[in-house]
Structure 1
Amino acid sequence: MKISGVDIRPGNIIEYEGGIWRAVKIQHTQPGKGGAYMQVEMKNLRDGRKNNVRFRSAETVERVRLDTKDFQFLYPEGDMLVFMDKESYEQTTLPRDLLGDAAAFLQDGMDVVMELYDEEAISVQLPDTIEAMIVEADAVVKGQ
């Protein structure tokens, strides 16, 4: 679905210059001379790059809808993570860096939601809460 450049909102996912981007920050600007434009800070969902782009009101971009699917985390395998589709029981292997810091919180059997674009995993959402055991903590110092 095509949308105007000034209709982009934070969280929208758009196709721009051959990549899939998520709008992170938006700033509408109307200078004294010339037409209004939208300054959009975007993050590439495939490689994590950030980009700042100006969209004029006459420009249009393709808004992308991501499919979501329920998966279950099975086990880590080197730098890869193995997930199972809860409907078809097919196994999918993803690079650990797709999850970033969240990979440290994965537990065997954890249910996650994967966002897919053309059957390619774009991001993985962990549950809002997890149950974990604290192994080590610094001692409390009075006055802190």
Structure 2
Amino acid sequence: MVKVIASEVRKGNVLEIDGDLCTVLKAESIRPGKGTPTTHIDMRRISDGVKIVKSYRTTETVERAFLDEKDYDYLYEDEMGFNFMEPETYEQILVPKDLLGDSAQWLVENMRCSIKLFEGSPVAIELPQRVIFEIVEADPVVKGQTASSSYKPAKLSNGARVMVPPHIESGTRIVVMTEDGSYVERAKD
């Protein structure tokens, strides 16, 4: 374990809180005009999946767990969870469904992901920042909706819905951020 200040905690980090390992789901630093800056950390306890929310002063220290981090290729999903393979040794590992949560919709076959292991068990997973999907369904442009800030809903090939600019049509391949599902740009391929 290593001590880090609360303001340096990021999504995907694993902390030791009261003797339990917790995966950070969201970390947000708040700096009010008056008073002490604080960091709110949303976590999930690895042992039983219970969500925990803690607040720390930004200068307080928290215990960060040492984890093995390896790259794995995504293979497939079954009723037990998501199956990944280590590219050099071909060793397979099963990642429980609740570990990925909403991020699972961005998994694509053969995608290289970084899995953090604690004593051989997966405790956190990091997907690539950006993925490419094809638009299968996009609403038509509403006349007069030409402002650059206007967006329309579209459905991706994986079933997810995202907001895209009006000029994006069905069949277009786009780049999407895996963190929040936001449109980035047209794919350059």
TM-score relative to the length of structure 1: 0.71
User: What's the offset of the Cα at 1:131?
Assistant: 2.4
Counting aligned pairs with the same residue, the percent is 33
Distance 1:111 1:39 in 2: 31
Q: List alignment gaps of at least 5 residues for structure 2.
A: 146-189
In 2, the alpha carbon distance for the partners of 1:53 and 1:60 equals 12
Q: Which residue of 2 aligns with 1:32?
A: none
Task: Give the counterpart letter for 1:20 in structure 2.
Answer: L
Quote the residue 1:31 is aligned against. Answer: none
Distance in 2 (CA, whole Å) between partners of 1:91 and 1:40 is 35
Cα 1:15/1:75, change in 2 over 3 Å: same
The match for 1:50 is 52
Structure 1 portions without partners, runs of 5+: 29-35
The alignment status of 1:8 with 2:11, answered yes or no, reads no
Give the 4+ runs in structure 1 shifted more than 4 A: none
SS of 1:135's equivalent in the other structure is: strand
CA offsets per residue over residues 61-93 of structure 1, 9 Å max, x none? 533122210100111113521111123211112
Residue of structure 2 equivalent to 1:114: 115
CA distance in 2 between partners of 1:60 and 1:127 (Å): 29
* 2:132 alignment partner AA: E
Report the secondary structure of 1:136's partner residue: strand
What CA distance in whole angstroms lies between the structure 2 residues aligned with 1:131 and 1:2? 36
Aligned residues: 135
**Considering only aligned residues, what root-mean-square deviation do their CA atoms show, in Å?**
3.2
What residue is the counterpart of 2:134 in the other structure? 133
- Cα distance in 1 between the residues matched to 2:88 and 2:50: 29
Query: How far off its partner does 1:126 sit?
Result: 1.4
Superposition deviation, residue 2 in structure 1 = 5.2
Q: C-alpha displacement at 1:54, in angstroms?
A: 5.4
Letter in 2 for 1:76: E
Matching of residues 52-67 of structure 1 within 5 Å: 52-53=54-55, 61-67=62-68
Query: What SS does structure 2 have at the residue aligned with 1:99?
Result: helix
Partner of 2:28: 25
CA gap of 1:8–1:76, structure 2 versus 1, over 3 A, is same
Alpha-carbon contact 1:68-1:113 (below 8 Å) kept: yes
Distance 2:144 2:100 in 1: 37
Alignment partners' CA distance in 1, 2:130 and 2:39: 34
Change (3 A) 1:117 1:43: same
CA distance in 1, matches of 2:86, 2:108: 16
